Structure 1
Amino acid sequence: MGKTTSGKKKSVAIFAAGCFWSKEYAFSRLPGVISTRVGYTGGHTDDPSYHTVCGKLTGHAEAVEVTFDPEQTDFTTLAKYFFEIHDPSIDRRAKGGQYRSAIFYTDEEQFRIAQQLIADLQTRGIEAVTELQEATTFWPAEARHQKYCDTRGMEPTDRYTKRF
């Protein structure tokens, strides 16, 4: 946890749930979210590009980095929302896995919370294939991908499923 220039505390969460454009749009509208950016993480290639990630050879997932004020929201709330804005039971890990479901945890508390939420889903018959992976380098996507829906006047039509 760090400090912003305004003195407010901030925390970071990183989620991968398919195409990052609509997920970034969704997270950016939540109360307590300070900023979002899309990028690539979880792979084995330095400084990947959209082109190389789509080529399915880097191992990276398209992800959203969510910076939030822990006095206004928390990781649990964000992680529950993550499970509502995509179907965590669809296995997209094959063929490079850029659209896989994953939480890239930044500390043991995030890991514990994510693990418990997955267990809760599985107890209710939802076979979540969401990977839990320790956060490594988050490579920001090219400028044209940042705030993609907002800059193009698009409102994603993703379905939201109340799971928690």
Structure 2
Amino acid sequence: MRFPALTAGMLAAAALAWHAAPSVAEPARRVPAAAVDLAAPPTLKYDTAVFAGGCFWGVQGVFQRVKGVNNAVSGYAGGDAKTARYEDVGSGRTGHAEAVRITYDPRQISYGKLLQIYFSVAHDPTQFNRQGPDVGPQYRSTVFAENPEQARVAKAYIAQLNQAKTFNRQLATTIEMSKPFYAAEAYHQDFLTRHPSHEYIVFNDLPKIDDLKKLFPESYRPTPVLVNAAKGG
């Protein structure tokens, strides 16, 4: 769907037009830690991870409040650069998913820990090509692995959770390798923090922040790291 001549605020509000009836979601829970994880290289100051799990507003908001995360940017992954635009991705025909690129300090938090938070509170990994009221492949649950080691850890973790029957259903999460990430438009960045009273945020995303604080108190930080603040904006 295209939105010519609309303001950023109108575009954000128009996202609600894509929402269908809510589906039954798995309750948030602290899933077991990953049995397989990446070792923290002693000299590596930062690494990146890219996760998709429904609307990027909530996923970004969660990881901006995780200790050890230096930045979390909303964007698109899975498709081409020419279609990495909100109005195109919303069609569900670009191959893109709304995703979040996380820059983190591996000496403070591991890739496996990020995955644990992703599977526990950032989204419901059992929903296929949707997340709550948002429907379509652009809202799929996907780990965009940056390298074979990340793919190995993610694959092992998905198998671990499925084998343990952690959820009532098998995980729908897929793994995609070597897909470029494209940052989303500026009006999507820090959306949860800037618009805490937005209807979508209140009903769908603020509960994720509460779950993070309750289930991962050791990883929660009350002051989020913001994209616009990092840019001086």
TM-score (norm 2): 0.62
Deviation at 1:107, TM superposition (A): 1.3
- 2:46 aligns with one of 1, 4, 10: 10
Matched, 1:101 2:146: no
Matched, 1:143 2:179: no
Structure 1 residues not aligned, in runs of 5+ = 1-6
- 1:75 aligns with one of 108, 111, 126: 111
Give the root-mean-square deviation of aligned CA atoms: 2.1
- What does 1:147-162 align with in structure 2 at a 5 Å threshold? 147-154=190-197, 156-158=206-208, 160=211
More helix by share: 2
CA offsets per residue over residues 77-109 of structure 1, 9 Å max, x none? Answer: 00111101211111117x750100000011122
Deviation at 1:130, TM superposition (A): 0.4
Deviation at 1:144, TM superposition (A): 0.1
**After the TM superposition, which segments of 4 or more aligned residues of structure 1 sit over 4 Å from their partners?**
159-162
Q: Distance in 2 between matches of 1:58 and 1:47?
A: 6
CA contact (8 A) 1:57 1:96 kept: no
Letter in 2 for 1:31: K
Deviation at 1:124, TM superposition (A): 1.9
Task: Name the larger-Rg structure.
Answer: 2
CA contact (8 A) 1:45 1:58 kept: no
Name 2:76's counterpart in structure 1.
40
1:9 aligned counterpart, secondary structure = coil
- What does 1:118-129 align with in structure 2 at a 5 Å threshold? 118-125=158-165, 126=167, 127-129=170-172
Letter in 2 for 1:34: N
Q: Distance in 2 between matches of 1:10 and 1:27?
A: 15
1:156 aligned counterpart, secondary structure = helix
CA contact (8 A) 1:56 1:98 kept: yes
CA contact (8 A) 1:60 1:96 kept: no
Aligned residues: 155
CA contact (8 A) 1:34 1:67 kept: yes
Deviation at 1:129, TM superposition (A): 1.2
Structure 2 residues not aligned, in runs of 5+ = 1-42, 198-204, 216-233
More strand by share: 1
CA contact (8 A) 2:52 2:142 kept: yes
Letter in 1 for 2:207: T
- 1:49 aligns with one of 73, 76, 85: 85
CA contact (8 A) 2:44 2:106 kept: no
Deviation at 1:47, TM superposition (A): 4.5
